[in-house]
Structure 1
Amino acid sequence: MPAALAEVVSDFKEMQGQDKLALLLEFAGELPPLPADLEEAAMEPVPECQSPLFLHVDAADRDNVRLYFSAPAEAPTTRGFASILAQGLDTQSADDILAVPDDFYSELGLAALISPLRLRGMSAMLARIKRHLR
Protein backbone atom coordinates (compact mmCIF):
# COMPACT_ATOMS: atom_id res chain seq x y z
CA MET A 1 0.00 0.00 0.00
CA PRO A 2 1.44 3.43 -0.87
CA ALA A 3 2.66 5.35 2.18
CA ALA A 4 0.09 8.14 1.70
CA LEU A 5 -2.80 5.66 1.69
CA ALA A 6 -1.32 3.71 4.61
CA GLU A 7 -1.24 6.99 6.57
CA VAL A 8 -4.94 7.59 5.87
CA VAL A 9 -5.77 4.04 7.01
CA SER A 10 -3.70 4.61 10.15
CA ASP A 11 -5.60 7.83 10.90
CA PHE A 12 -8.89 5.95 10.74
CA LYS A 13 -7.61 3.09 12.88
CA GLU A 14 -6.76 5.61 15.63
CA MET A 15 -10.38 6.82 15.75
CA GLN A 16 -13.34 5.17 17.44
CA GLY A 17 -17.07 5.21 16.67
CA GLN A 18 -18.51 8.51 15.57
CA ASP A 19 -15.03 10.05 15.41
CA LYS A 20 -14.46 7.94 12.30
CA LEU A 21 -17.47 9.60 10.67
CA ALA A 22 -16.18 13.01 11.66
CA LEU A 23 -12.85 12.17 10.02
CA LEU A 24 -14.65 11.01 6.87
CA LEU A 25 -16.47 14.36 6.78
CA GLU A 26 -13.13 16.15 7.12
CA PHE A 27 -11.91 14.26 4.08
CA ALA A 28 -15.09 15.23 2.22
CA GLY A 29 -14.21 18.88 2.74
CA GLU A 30 -10.71 18.30 1.40
CA LEU A 31 -11.63 16.82 -1.99
CA PRO A 32 -9.51 18.80 -4.46
CA PRO A 33 -11.40 20.81 -7.08
CA LEU A 34 -11.18 19.75 -10.70
CA PRO A 35 -8.54 21.44 -12.84
CA ALA A 36 -9.94 24.17 -15.08
CA ASP A 37 -9.42 22.10 -18.24
CA LEU A 38 -11.39 19.05 -16.99
CA GLU A 39 -15.17 19.02 -17.11
CA GLU A 40 -17.40 16.54 -15.34
CA ALA A 41 -19.02 15.68 -18.69
CA ALA A 42 -15.68 14.23 -19.87
CA MET A 43 -15.29 12.06 -16.78
CA GLU A 44 -16.41 8.48 -16.14
CA PRO A 45 -19.49 8.05 -13.95
CA VAL A 46 -19.37 5.51 -11.13
CA PRO A 47 -22.99 4.32 -10.99
CA GLU A 48 -22.31 1.97 -8.06
CA CYS A 49 -22.05 5.04 -5.82
CA GLN A 50 -25.34 6.08 -4.22
CA SER A 51 -24.60 9.71 -5.08
CA PRO A 52 -23.35 11.04 -8.42
CA LEU A 53 -19.60 10.52 -8.65
CA PHE A 54 -17.33 11.01 -11.63
CA LEU A 55 -13.66 10.13 -11.96
CA HIS A 56 -10.84 10.67 -14.41
CA VAL A 57 -7.59 8.71 -14.45
CA ASP A 58 -4.64 10.33 -16.21
CA ALA A 59 -2.02 7.62 -16.64
CA ALA A 60 0.02 9.28 -19.38
CA ASP A 61 2.96 9.07 -16.95
CA ARG A 62 2.64 5.64 -15.31
CA ASP A 63 5.07 6.73 -12.59
CA ASN A 64 2.85 9.68 -11.66
CA VAL A 65 -0.81 8.77 -12.13
CA ARG A 66 -3.20 11.64 -11.60
CA LEU A 67 -6.68 11.01 -10.20
CA TYR A 68 -9.56 13.46 -10.36
CA PHE A 69 -12.96 13.11 -8.71
CA SER A 70 -16.17 15.10 -8.80
CA ALA A 71 -18.99 14.62 -6.29
CA PRO A 72 -21.66 17.07 -5.08
CA ALA A 73 -21.22 18.85 -1.77
CA GLU A 74 -24.49 17.31 -0.56
CA ALA A 75 -22.92 13.82 -0.80
CA PRO A 76 -20.36 13.95 2.02
CA THR A 77 -19.82 10.19 2.32
CA THR A 78 -19.12 9.82 -1.39
CA ARG A 79 -16.90 12.91 -1.36
CA GLY A 80 -15.06 11.54 1.67
CA PHE A 81 -14.34 8.24 -0.05
CA ALA A 82 -13.17 10.04 -3.21
CA SER A 83 -10.95 12.30 -1.12
CA ILE A 84 -9.39 9.30 0.64
CA LEU A 85 -8.49 7.83 -2.74
CA ALA A 86 -7.27 11.18 -4.04
CA GLN A 87 -5.05 11.81 -1.02
CA GLY A 88 -3.85 8.24 -0.82
CA LEU A 89 -3.27 7.42 -4.48
CA ASP A 90 -2.90 10.61 -6.55
CA THR A 91 0.63 10.95 -7.97
CA GLN A 92 1.48 7.32 -7.15
CA SER A 93 2.80 4.92 -9.77
CA ALA A 94 0.43 2.67 -11.67
CA ASP A 95 2.14 -0.40 -10.20
CA ASP A 96 1.68 0.89 -6.64
CA ILE A 97 -2.00 1.62 -7.23
CA LEU A 98 -2.58 -1.78 -8.83
CA ALA A 99 -1.00 -3.42 -5.75
CA VAL A 100 -3.54 -1.83 -3.34
CA PRO A 101 -5.76 -4.59 -1.90
CA ASP A 102 -9.25 -4.38 -3.40
CA ASP A 103 -10.76 -4.41 0.10
CA PHE A 104 -8.32 -1.97 1.75
CA TYR A 105 -11.29 0.17 2.78
CA SER A 106 -12.31 -2.50 5.29
CA GLU A 107 -9.29 -1.42 7.33
CA LEU A 108 -10.89 2.01 7.80
CA GLY A 109 -13.34 0.46 10.26
CA LEU A 110 -16.41 2.12 8.78
CA ALA A 111 -18.49 -1.02 8.16
CA ALA A 112 -20.41 -0.65 11.43
CA LEU A 113 -21.17 3.02 10.69
CA ILE A 114 -21.90 3.12 6.95
CA SER A 115 -24.21 1.00 4.82
CA PRO A 116 -22.72 -1.77 2.68
CA LEU A 117 -24.07 0.03 -0.41
CA ARG A 118 -21.96 3.08 0.38
CA LEU A 119 -18.88 0.96 0.98
CA ARG A 120 -19.54 -0.75 -2.35
CA GLY A 121 -19.18 2.68 -3.96
CA MET A 122 -15.65 3.05 -2.65
CA SER A 123 -14.80 -0.42 -3.88
CA ALA A 124 -16.18 0.49 -7.30
CA MET A 125 -14.06 3.66 -7.47
CA LEU A 126 -10.89 1.69 -6.82
CA ALA A 127 -11.91 -1.04 -9.28
CA ARG A 128 -12.46 1.52 -12.05
CA ILE A 129 -9.12 3.19 -11.36
CA LYS A 130 -7.38 -0.18 -11.56
CA ARG A 131 -9.25 -1.07 -14.75
CA HIS A 132 -7.95 2.11 -16.38
CA LEU A 133 -4.41 1.29 -15.32
CA ARG A 134 -4.50 -2.28 -16.63
Structure 2
Amino acid sequence: MADTSSTEEGPALPPAFTEIVDDFHALTQKDRLELLLEFSRELPLLPAKYAGDHDAMEAVSECQSPVFVKVETGATLDEPAHVYFDAPPEAPTTRGFASILASGLEGLTGQEILDVPDDVPHRLGLSEAVSPLRLRGMAGMLARIKRQVREGTAA
Protein backbone atom coordinates (compact mmCIF):
# COMPACT_ATOMS: atom_id res chain seq x y z
CA MET A 1 0.00 0.00 0.00
CA ALA A 2 1.37 3.43 -0.94
CA ASP A 3 1.95 5.92 1.86
CA THR A 4 -0.30 8.91 1.23
CA SER A 5 -0.18 10.04 4.83
CA SER A 6 2.21 12.81 3.80
CA THR A 7 2.28 13.78 0.17
CA GLU A 8 3.26 16.66 -1.99
CA GLU A 9 -0.48 17.47 -1.94
CA GLY A 10 -0.26 18.77 1.61
CA PRO A 11 0.01 17.89 5.29
CA ALA A 12 -0.15 14.35 6.58
CA LEU A 13 -3.45 12.56 7.05
CA PRO A 14 -4.36 10.51 10.12
CA PRO A 15 -3.93 6.74 9.53
CA ALA A 16 -7.67 6.03 9.06
CA PHE A 17 -7.93 8.74 6.38
CA THR A 18 -4.73 7.53 4.73
CA GLU A 19 -6.28 4.07 4.38
CA ILE A 20 -9.51 5.49 2.95
CA VAL A 21 -7.64 7.68 0.44
CA ASP A 22 -5.46 4.71 -0.57
CA ASP A 23 -8.58 2.57 -1.08
CA PHE A 24 -10.11 5.19 -3.39
CA HIS A 25 -6.90 5.66 -5.39
CA ALA A 26 -6.56 1.92 -5.94
CA LEU A 27 -9.78 2.01 -8.00
CA THR A 28 -10.98 3.35 -11.34
CA GLN A 29 -13.27 6.41 -11.32
CA LYS A 30 -16.36 4.22 -11.76
CA ASP A 31 -15.31 1.95 -8.93
CA ARG A 32 -14.54 4.97 -6.71
CA LEU A 33 -18.16 6.01 -7.05
CA GLU A 34 -19.21 2.49 -6.06
CA LEU A 35 -16.97 2.70 -2.98
CA LEU A 36 -18.57 6.03 -2.08
CA LEU A 37 -21.98 4.35 -2.31
CA GLU A 38 -20.71 1.52 -0.13
CA PHE A 39 -19.66 4.08 2.48
CA SER A 40 -23.16 5.59 2.28
CA ARG A 41 -24.64 2.28 3.40
CA GLU A 42 -22.22 2.14 6.35
CA LEU A 43 -23.02 5.51 7.95
CA PRO A 44 -23.35 4.74 11.68
CA LEU A 45 -26.76 5.21 13.25
CA LEU A 46 -27.30 8.24 15.43
CA PRO A 47 -27.27 7.70 19.19
CA ALA A 48 -30.81 7.69 20.60
CA LYS A 49 -30.29 11.12 22.21
CA TYR A 50 -29.92 12.73 18.74
CA ALA A 51 -32.31 10.59 16.70
CA GLY A 52 -35.09 12.84 15.44
CA ASP A 53 -33.67 15.87 17.29
CA HIS A 54 -32.09 18.07 14.64
CA ASP A 55 -32.26 21.01 17.06
CA ALA A 56 -29.43 19.32 19.01
CA MET A 57 -27.34 19.13 15.84
CA GLU A 58 -26.02 21.63 13.29
CA ALA A 59 -27.29 21.80 9.72
CA VAL A 60 -24.64 21.76 6.99
CA SER A 61 -25.93 24.40 4.61
CA GLU A 62 -23.25 23.69 1.98
CA CYS A 63 -24.91 20.33 1.29
CA GLN A 64 -27.73 20.07 -1.22
CA SER A 65 -29.43 17.51 1.01
CA PRO A 66 -30.48 18.04 4.63
CA VAL A 67 -27.40 16.95 6.61
CA PHE A 68 -26.87 17.47 10.32
CA VAL A 69 -23.69 17.01 12.34
CA LYS A 70 -22.93 16.90 16.06
CA VAL A 71 -19.51 16.65 17.68
CA GLU A 72 -19.08 15.61 21.29
CA THR A 73 -15.75 16.68 22.73
CA GLY A 74 -13.91 16.26 25.97
CA ALA A 75 -12.92 19.24 28.06
CA THR A 76 -9.54 19.51 26.34
CA LEU A 77 -8.16 18.98 22.84
CA ASP A 78 -6.23 15.94 24.11
CA GLU A 79 -9.41 13.94 24.67
CA PRO A 80 -11.22 11.90 22.01
CA ALA A 81 -14.11 13.51 20.19
CA HIS A 82 -17.06 11.72 18.60
CA VAL A 83 -18.75 12.83 15.38
CA TYR A 84 -22.34 11.98 14.51
CA PHE A 85 -24.23 12.59 11.27
CA ASP A 86 -27.80 12.44 10.12
CA ALA A 87 -28.19 12.31 6.34
CA PRO A 88 -31.16 10.98 4.38
CA PRO A 89 -30.90 7.58 2.65
CA GLU A 90 -32.09 9.20 -0.61
CA ALA A 91 -28.85 11.25 -0.67
CA PRO A 92 -26.23 8.51 -1.07
CA THR A 93 -23.36 10.78 -2.14
CA THR A 94 -23.87 13.02 0.88
CA ARG A 95 -24.24 10.00 3.18
CA GLY A 96 -21.07 8.56 1.69
CA PHE A 97 -19.09 11.70 2.45
CA ALA A 98 -20.53 11.81 5.98
CA SER A 99 -19.60 8.17 6.49
CA ILE A 100 -16.04 8.78 5.24
CA LEU A 101 -15.66 11.63 7.73
CA ALA A 102 -17.19 9.58 10.55
CA SER A 103 -14.81 6.69 9.79
CA GLY A 104 -11.75 8.86 9.32
CA LEU A 105 -12.32 10.91 12.47
CA GLU A 106 -13.47 8.17 14.85
CA GLY A 107 -11.24 7.89 17.88
CA LEU A 108 -9.21 11.02 17.12
CA THR A 109 -8.60 13.64 19.76
CA GLY A 110 -9.91 17.13 19.28
CA GLN A 111 -6.44 18.32 18.28
CA GLU A 112 -6.02 15.51 15.75
CA ILE A 113 -9.36 16.50 14.19
CA LEU A 114 -8.25 20.14 13.97
CA ASP A 115 -5.04 18.96 12.30
CA VAL A 116 -6.88 17.08 9.52
CA PRO A 117 -6.09 18.90 6.27
CA ASP A 118 -9.02 20.81 4.83
CA ASP A 119 -8.38 19.28 1.39
CA VAL A 120 -9.40 15.74 2.42
CA PRO A 121 -12.43 15.78 0.09
CA HIS A 122 -10.17 16.48 -2.89
CA ARG A 123 -7.63 13.82 -1.92
CA LEU A 124 -10.22 11.09 -2.49
CA GLY A 125 -9.85 11.43 -6.26
CA LEU A 126 -13.56 11.89 -6.90
CA SER A 127 -13.40 15.20 -8.74
CA GLU A 128 -14.24 13.51 -12.05
CA ALA A 129 -17.04 11.44 -10.54
CA VAL A 130 -18.93 14.03 -8.46
CA SER A 131 -19.65 17.71 -8.87
CA PRO A 132 -17.56 20.45 -7.24
CA LEU A 133 -20.72 21.41 -5.32
CA ARG A 134 -20.78 17.99 -3.68
CA LEU A 135 -17.09 18.22 -2.77
CA ARG A 136 -17.82 21.64 -1.25
CA GLY A 137 -20.53 19.98 0.82
CA MET A 138 -18.02 17.54 2.30
CA ALA A 139 -15.61 20.41 2.96
CA GLY A 140 -18.48 22.20 4.72
CA MET A 141 -19.06 19.16 6.92
CA LEU A 142 -15.39 19.11 7.93
CA ALA A 143 -15.36 22.86 8.61
CA ARG A 144 -18.37 22.56 10.92
CA ILE A 145 -16.80 19.62 12.73
CA LYS A 146 -13.62 21.60 13.36
CA ARG A 147 -15.59 24.63 14.57
CA GLN A 148 -17.61 22.46 16.96
CA VAL A 149 -14.37 20.95 18.30
CA ARG A 150 -12.91 24.42 18.91
CA GLU A 151 -16.10 25.63 20.58
CA GLY A 152 -16.57 22.44 22.62
CA THR A 153 -13.09 22.49 24.08
CA ALA A 154 -13.12 26.24 24.72
CA ALA A 155 -16.24 26.07 26.88
Band the TM-score falls in, shorter-chain normalisation: over 0.9
Instruction: Give the Cα–Cα distance (whole angstroms) in 1 for the partners of residues 119 and 63 of structure 2.
Output: 16
Which residue pairs with 1:69 in the alignment? 85
SS of the residue 1:69 aligns to: strand
The DSSP-based 3-state class of the residue aligned with 1:82 is: helix
Count of residues paired in the alignment: 134
Equivalent in the alignment of 1:3: 15
| CA apart distance, 1:41 | 3.0
Q: Give runs of aligned pairs for residues 89-108 of structure 1, distance below 5 A.
A: 89-108=105-124
Partners of 2:45 and 2:54 in 1: CA distance? 11
Q: 1:121 aligned to 2:137?
A: yes
CA distance in 1, matches of 2:71, 2:45: 15
Gap runs ≥5 in structure 2 = 1-12, 151-155
Q: How does 1:25-64 map to 2 (within 5 A)?
A: 25-38=37-50, 39-60=53-74, 62=77, 63-64=79-80
- CA shift, 1:86, in A, is 0.3
RMSD of aligned residue pairs (Cα, Å) = 1.0
Any gaps of 5 or more consecutive residues in structure 1? none
Partner of 1:22: 34
Identity of aligned residues (%): 55
Equivalent position of 1:132 in the other structure = 148
TM-score by length of structure 1 reads: 0.96
Q: For CA contacts below 8 A with separation 6 or more, give which structure has more relative contact order.
A: 1
SS in 2 for 1:55: strand
